Chain A
Amino acid sequence: MKREGYTGNLVTTEPPQEPLVRVENLTKLFPLNKSLFSEARSFVHAVDGISFTIQEGQNLALVGESGSGKTTTGKLLVRLLNPTSGKIEMILNGTQTDIASLRRGEMKKFRQNVQMIFQDPYESLNPRRTIFDTVAEPLTVQGIGNIAERELQVAKILTTVGLAPAETFMFRFPHELSGGQRQRVAIARALVVAPTFVVADEPTSMLDVSIRTGIMYLMQKLSDVLGVTYLYITHDLAVARYMSTRLAVMYRGKIVEIGETEEVLAHPLHPYTRALLSAVPVPDPTIKRSRANIKGSIAKPIDPEPRCRFIDRCPLAAEVCRSNDHPELVELAPGHQVACYRAGEMA
């Protein structure tokens, strides 16, 4: 797969054996009731021992409702949050590194290779800084290039994301741009250091429908041309379908199903995935959906009991689900893993 960095050289690399990102038993606990004088007694298990891999060039979509832990996972992967336990291994400049244990001084290489696109185009740009300042920030902070080189780089990336002519945009302020344009700036900022891996946290959910597809198309194109791999976080299954080759469904801090996107959408094996799929409204008035056979809403995963997390809402809940710990991911079809004791009965 050809990857072209901003040096302009064409670099041909073999598809690596090692995945670009490998996550093993990643856990993040948030303490409740913590004060200056006492230790916390209960924890929110936002992310509870998840494992997955992402191959270079294969975008993974992380899908879940609010409280599922998908945003927390994204933040862990860019080290905005520090994991409580577990390993995150990424290939940075050819070497595999454990991100989770990097200390402050070693983060530079990391930040050049891994970036993030945020959800809210109105909040993720500092209203007092020009577009140039915002997009050049990763370069400035990491000491890449001199002023002239940075100007050129910023101009190039702005043109690439569709904000052309670059000079007219570079010295405007965020409030002078529309939502779609602001999100393009956010994408430009993430890509200006030519990263290999980008976490996109619901980048289109706050945009209008007609603008959304433009941004999605842009991100896909950039993924191909610039060789960027995405972790695409979203609650919208339809959007996930278009932006990813593989799909992982999260529920209350756990991954309950993971596999190729088309496969998972066509043959969902976990009862939660089925419920989620059947709950999505379809833009066709002639199609009548069947009822999503599930009720209630997600409670926060505070000190969860050692049994399947989905048991309160699952239409298939049985004794085996109650008496054993949360099921592990098991491969039920090639490349398709499910965490459910009874999923095998459906396949």
Chain B
Amino acid sequence: MVLRGPSRPPAYCALTLILVLLLPGGLTRPADAQPASDIAVVVHPDVAVDNLTIAELRRVLLGDREFWPASVRITLLIRAPIARERDVVLKTLCQMTEAQFRQHWIGKVFRADTALAPKIVYSTDMAVDYVNRIPGAITFIEASHAGRGLKVVKVEGRLPGEKDYLLH
């Protein structure tokens, strides 16, 4: 039977609505419709860095750079998979898929290049909390959450919200 608009039974419409809401992303669709926020690069307040280039950020994310100036060890805090912040930095900075990024870090540790893999944070609040508590920490959060006395680093000389800011 082919069901057409006006003749569709109310029960079928309700079932369709439930299925749509249950589909992956269905419940988040209203949020998706809003403009995506820039991703801010936030560091521990004592990190003596105000600006990072894309290449420098990439080297931090891939573990090729392990120290800030004055030999302060970098602690990379990164959101768990699926989080938008993680997707943006992986695609924009590392130009990698999630699988490639994971494989890169497994290889990095396996090669004995570093014993300190990225630390996973599960929420913006957790990222904000830890970046302020761990010396040398760096993380990536939605810029709209970065106004609480955090040290936001410029990327290629631009802050989130400015024209031509690259992380969004």
Is A bound to B? no
Chain A: residues with CB nearer than 8 A to chain B?
none
